[in-house]
């Protein structure tokens, strides 16, 4: 019986709908009483932030395609208009679940723990007096209400800002009678205000800035009657557009484009549930939106502001227990790190193991007189990165320091521009990679004189050089002095900073040149091995999977009988378990305390397994529009460790894992009768963190 056609559109799940499914799984953590209460509130905020970005980027892009009549359906065959039609009901349902989780589950549970969001209707006399004083001293001086009349058209509303539409009766001092005004909440004040102990019932009583403004909005319109005051929030298309081929200076072009991000086309309007229909329709008209774009919510219109509660409330019993990252046994202190790496490659699994050896690697390089040059890629580092300070110190010490900084890391553009300017001022050679390709590879190279020869040392990673995210994201890093691997890293830097033809790399698989073809070849090799009776298996983990040819190759491998197990955190366009197509493919998603970020690819290779770590997901942008690398873990002990910790360990998870179904939905994996609950992340925390490890 011939294999079924693996190119059919109904074999591919839609990317955007899959992304919404991911956000539904994030929300499920907020709904799970097994997680600490304040962490559940934090995950609710994360689901809100994720949905913001979904509208800003994904929905914004689809709307542009519709407006420009772009007919470019993806592998699933859905046009942009069809995708928008399917997104709307799912997004409305997700928002409804977010607010029911907050109002019906989290707020009562928080109140039981003495954490209160005190509503206006529940303020006592002392609280009302304190709030009135706060309004007059802190809030009123920075407010600028805007009456709507021919001289005051509807103001430009900042993306995702908190605003109020106020309905009025009467005439002002000039005899104007417009009936409506807009008040924009100041970004300089916190959205959550803690009540002082003398007027509060406990240490953790909060009022919302929106409640304070609502209670005293009439003071902004003296002599007139306020008949209504309603929160609203506009989400805009925030994708930057820079025609890179037609500019001379990418940094200046991005600096000029960034302010416009806050004023792109509207894509979503959120209003309070008490907002009258006519007022909501008026707002929709101002932003050129349709009824499906309106989200009426019960509570504050920006759930991600509740993220602050996690830091404001000092209740360790309601948070995850502290994680103490382990340090490796190898001596990486003082001047010993280079000797350590020469003797044996050092593999780090963050956040269970400390990020400090990476910092020490660069710090010692900056201080070591035998180090001649340092080269590094930077994608997202944070504005106060210790690594940036180290690179500046190295340049000021006279070393050749070259940094390839990716200015176009979405929503980090302004921070990266600031870092680029600071480093250039300090004498660092700063380049911005290759026009048309984002530099996403995570590489650092140190060139050192060891006796009478030059030795290269490298760090290769799956995650960003950001000491903050290294505490929250699961990632691998490899410190190595392997001459072949470090020569490959050197050649990649030559490509990024100079000009010339692509040279063949011996160990690294690089996008956009070789990575995609290599993955297809390795999948085909597993097919060939299986058909020849040799051991064959594919196990891979990544953030997202939606590249059509890779999915088709996996389908063909499944048709040949190759066992395939995938751990895909977010987007997955592959349908597992389809008869005759993907019966041997299992896809699971694991969400827990840490954000799963590692990309790991395992190929059985006839009994001689290959394991690659990578900065790249299996997505078109990673294969064809970015500079990425995948690097092999060749040491057998380290290779087996990577496979066990990041793959096989996750295939045992029955506590925080979800199984993708053929229809695109996910089912929570639960322990069977008599089975002990097992969390991959908790196992790694117990195994690796808080101790000295090898």
User: DSSP labels for 376-445?
Assistant: EEES---TT-HHHHHHHHHHHTT-EEEEEE-TTSTT-HHHHHHHHHHHHHTT-EEE--BTTBEE--EEEE
Which residues in the chain land under pLDDT 70? Answer: 1-2, 150-151, 172-177, 239-263, 329-335, 383, 408-413, 416, 500, 502, 690-694
Alpha carbon distance, N-terminus to C-terminus of the chain = 51
Identify the pLDDT of residue 409. 54
Task: Give the SS3 label for residue 549.
Answer: helix
Residue 612 β-bridge partners: 601, 632
Asked if residue 40 belongs to a known ligand binding site, the reply is: no
Cβ-contact 360, 333 below 8 angstroms: yes
Identify the pLDDT of residue 423. 84
- How far is C-alpha 382 from the geometric centre of its chain's CA atoms? 14
Q: CATH 3.30.870.10 in the chain, residues? A: 327-506, 510-693
Contacts of 514 (CB under 8 A, 6+ apart): 505
Asked whether the bond before 195 is cis by omega within 30 degrees of 0, the reply is no
Which of the following CATH numbers is that of domain 10-318: 3.90.25.10, 2.40.10.120, 3.40.1380.10, 3.30.1840.10?
A: 3.30.1840.10
Asked if residue 237 belongs to a known ligand binding site, the reply is: no
Asked if residue 597 belongs to a known ligand binding site, the reply is: yes
How, if at all, do strands 626-632 and 438-439 pair?
parallel
Cα–Cα distance, 681 to 687 (Å, whole number)? 10
* CB-based burial label for 382 (10 Å; 0-12, 13-18, 19+): middle
Contacts of 693 (CB under 8 A, 6+ apart): 326, 327, 328, 329, 353
Task: Give the SS3 label for residue 587.
Answer: strand
Phi-psi sector, 299: left (phi>0), alpha (psi -120 to 50), beta: left
Residue 300, number of CB atoms within 10 A of its CB: 23
Cα–Cα distance, 49 to 42 (Å, whole number)? 10
Asked if residue 569 belongs to a known ligand binding site, the reply is: yes
Cα–Cα distance, 364 to 370 (Å, whole number)? 10
Torsion angle, alpha carbons of 175, 179, 184, 190, to 10? 110
Residues recognised as catalytic: 440
Cβ-contact 650, 542 below 8 angstroms: no
69, 67, 62: which is closest to 88 by C-alpha? Answer: 62
Please give the CATH number for the structural domain made up of 327-506. Answer: 3.30.870.10
Q: CATH 3.30.1840.10 in the chain, residues? A: 10-318
Identify the pLDDT of residue 691. 45
Identify the pLDDT of residue 243. 44
Cβ-contact 345, 357 below 8 angstroms: no
Cα–Cα distance, 462 to 616 (Å, whole number)? 8
CATH superfamily of 510-693: Endonuclease Chain A (3.30.870.10)
Identify the pLDDT of residue 147. 86
Task: Give the SS3 label for residue 85.
Answer: helix
Residue 586 β-bridge partners: 565
538, 518, 521: which is closest to 628 by C-alpha? Answer: 518
> Which two tokens mark 188?
């300089």
Identify the pLDDT of residue 330. 59
H or E segment to which residue 554 belongs: helix 548-559
């Amino acid at each position: 019986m011939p294999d079924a056609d693996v190119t059919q559109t109904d074999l591919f799940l839609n990317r955007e709908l899959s992304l919404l499914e991911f956000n539904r799984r994030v929300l499920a953590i907020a709904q799970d009483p097994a997680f600490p209460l304040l962490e559940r509130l934090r995950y609710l905020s994360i689901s809100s932030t994720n949905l913001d970005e979904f509208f800003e980027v994904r929905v914004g892009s689809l709307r542009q395609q519709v407006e420009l009549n772009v007919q470019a359906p993806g592998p699933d065959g859905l046009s942009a208009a069809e995708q928008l039609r399917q997104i709307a009901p799912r997004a409305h349902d997700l928002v409804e679940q977010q607010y029911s989780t907050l109002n019906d589950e989290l707020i009562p549970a928080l109140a039981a723990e003495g954490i209160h969001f005190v509503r206006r209707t529940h303020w006592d006399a002392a609280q009302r007096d304190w709030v009135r004083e706060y309004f007059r001293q802190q809030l009123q001086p920075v407010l600028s209400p805007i009456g709507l009349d021919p001289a005051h058209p509807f103001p430009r509303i900042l993306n995702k800002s908190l605003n109020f539409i106020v309905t009025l009766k009467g005439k002002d001092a000039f005899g104007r009678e417009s009936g409506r005004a807009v008040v924009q909440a100041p970004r300089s004040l916190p959205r959550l205000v803690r009540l002082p102990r003398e007027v509060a019932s406990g240490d953790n009583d909060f009022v919302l800035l929106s409640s304070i403004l609502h209670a005293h909005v009439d003071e902004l319109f003296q002599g007139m009657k306020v008949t209504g005051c309603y929160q609203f929030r506009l989400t805009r298309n925030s994708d930057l557009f820079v025609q890179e081929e037609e500019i001379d200076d990418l940094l200046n072009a991005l600096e000029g484009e960034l302010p416009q991000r806050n004023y792109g086309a509207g894509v979503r309007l959120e209003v309070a549930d008490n907002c009258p229909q006519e007022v909501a329709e008026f707002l929709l008209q101002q932003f050129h939106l349709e009824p499906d774009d309106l989200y009426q919510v019960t509570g504050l219109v920006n759930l991600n502001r509740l993220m602050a509660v996690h830091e404001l409330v000092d209740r360790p019993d309601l948070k995850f227990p502290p994680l103490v990252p382990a340090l490796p046994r190898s001596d990486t202190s003082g001047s010993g790190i280079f000797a350590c790496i020469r003797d044996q490659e050092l593999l780090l699994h963050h956040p269970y193991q400390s990020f400090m050896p990476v910092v020490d690697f660069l710090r010692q390089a900056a201080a070591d007189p035998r180090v001649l040059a340092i080269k590094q890629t930077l994608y997202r580092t944070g504005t106060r990165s210790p690594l940036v300070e180290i690179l500046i110190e190295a340049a000021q010490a006279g070393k050749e320091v070259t940094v390839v900084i990716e200015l176009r890391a979405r929503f980090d553009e302004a921070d990266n521009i600031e870092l680029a300017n600071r480093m250039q001022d300090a004498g660092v050679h700063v380049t911005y990679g290759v026009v048309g390709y984002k530099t996403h590879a995570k590489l650092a190279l140190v060139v050192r004189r060891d006796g009478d020869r030059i030795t290269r040392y490298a760090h290769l990673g799956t995650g960003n050089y950001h000491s903050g995210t290294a505490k929250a994201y699961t990632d691998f890093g490899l410190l190595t002095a392997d001459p072949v691997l470090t020569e490959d890293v050197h050649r990649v830097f030559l490509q990024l900073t100079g000009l010339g033809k692509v040279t063949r790399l011996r160990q690294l698989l690089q996008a956009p040149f070789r990575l995609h073809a290599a993955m297809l070849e390795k999948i085909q090799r597993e097919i060939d091995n299986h058909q020849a009776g040799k051991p064959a298996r594919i196990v891979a983990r990544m953030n997202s999977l939606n590249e059509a040819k890779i999915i088709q190759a996996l389908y063909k491998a499944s048709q040949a009988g190759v066992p395939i197990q995938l751990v895909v955190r977010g987007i997955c366009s592959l349908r597992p378990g389809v008869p005759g197509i993907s019966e041997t493919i299992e896809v699971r998603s694991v969400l827990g305390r840490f954000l799963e970020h590692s990309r790991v690819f395992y190929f059985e290779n006839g009994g001689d397994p290959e394991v690659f770590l990578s900065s790249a997901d299996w997505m078109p942008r990673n294969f064809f529009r970015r500079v990425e690398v995948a690097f092999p873990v060749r040491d057998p002990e380290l290779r087996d460790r990577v496979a066990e910790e990041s793959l096989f360990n996750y295939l045992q998870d029955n506590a925080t894992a979800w199984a993708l179904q053929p229809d695109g939905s996910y089912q929570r994996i639960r322990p069977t009768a008599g089975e002990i609950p097992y969390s991959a992340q908790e196992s790694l925390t117990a195994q690796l963190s808080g101790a000295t490890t090898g």
